[in-house]
């Protein structure tokens, strides 16, 4: 059974209006006015697509039981009517990151960077989904997706600023920040 692919296609169509595309680390992505998110079988990449990113969801790698329970107790799902703002943040990690052992990566991710502890401060206002794409040979390793209400925009900026200041981000060599509005 092949892994079901999720396709993020930027172009002239799609329910999400692209408000801005900012390069945070490394090269940006080309401008387009709209974003469509579809299952791979539905196509999603019209002939005029500015860019297409393919990914899949997977099991967790680093989350421990107590963290999983805390996340599950607080998090809300995607598609909430009030959450009309979204962020698509594609990220690539360095060769040095991928050369680490699993326990070393976990140490950077949580013991040093407090990624989950920081993230929990922003639940349930922010809903999220992590997509993997490294194993597909895509230009990014992860596509991170977040949805929040307009009045939570400042808090979301605070969240990304806190995470970008952590040691985990020393292992990121490409990051693009794409902000969207559902209209």
- What is the contact surface with ligand HEM in residues (CB under 6 A)? 60-63, 71, 89, 91, 93, 115-116, 119-120, 122-123, 126, 128, 130, 142, 144, 159-160, 163
How much is the CA Rg of the chain, to the nearest whole Å? Answer: 16
CB 43 → ligand HEM: shortest distance, Å?
27
> How many C-beta atoms lie closer than 10 Å to residue 112's C-beta?
13
Sheet holding 51-55: strands in order across?
Answer: 51-55, 6-11, 34-39, 16-25, 172-182, 85-93, 142-148, 127-132
Which residue in 171, 90, 77 sits closest to 136, CA to CA?
A: 90
| Non-local CB neighbours of 171 within 8 Å, separated by 6+ positions | 93, 94, 96, 97, 108
* Residue whose Cβ sits closest to ligand HEM: 119
Nearer to ligand HEM, 17 or 134 (CB): 134
Nearer to ligand HEM, 42 or 58 (CB): 58
| Non-local CB neighbours of 113 within 8 Å, separated by 6+ positions | 163, 166, 167, 168, 169
Nearer to ligand HEM, 8 or 128 (CB): 128
CB 54 → ligand HEM: shortest distance, Å?
17
Bridge partners of residue 180, in order along the sequence: 18, 86
Nearer to ligand HEM, 16 or 122 (CB): 122
CB 39 → ligand HEM: shortest distance, Å?
22
CB 93 → ligand HEM: shortest distance, Å?
6
CB 12 → ligand HEM: shortest distance, Å?
27
Terminal CA-to-CA distance of the chain, rounded, Å? 35
Nearer to ligand HEM, 49 or 122 (CB): 122
């Amino acid at each position: 059974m092949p892994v079901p692919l999720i396709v993020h296609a930027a172009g002239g169509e799609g329910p999400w209006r692209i408000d801005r595309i900012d390069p945070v680390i490394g090269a940006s992505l080309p401008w387009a006015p709209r974003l469509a998110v579809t299952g791979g079988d539905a196509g999603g990449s019209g002939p005029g697509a500015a860019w297409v990113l393919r990914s899949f969801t997977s099991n967790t790698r680093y989350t421990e039981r107590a963290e999983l329970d805390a996340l599950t107790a607080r998090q809300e799902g995607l598609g909430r009517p009030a959450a009309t703002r979204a962020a698509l943040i594609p990220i690539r990690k360095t060769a040095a990151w991928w050369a680490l052992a699993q326990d070393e990566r976990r140490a950077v991710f949580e013991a040093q960077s407090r990624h989950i502890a920081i993230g929990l401060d922003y639940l349930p206002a922010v809903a999220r989904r992590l997509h993997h794409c490294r194993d597909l040979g895509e230009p990014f390793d992860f596509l991170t997706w977040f949805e929040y209400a307009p009045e939570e925009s400042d808090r979301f900026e605070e969240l990304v600023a806190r995470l970008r200041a952590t040691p985990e981000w020393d292992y990121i060599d490409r990051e693009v920040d794409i902000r969207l509005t559902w209209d």
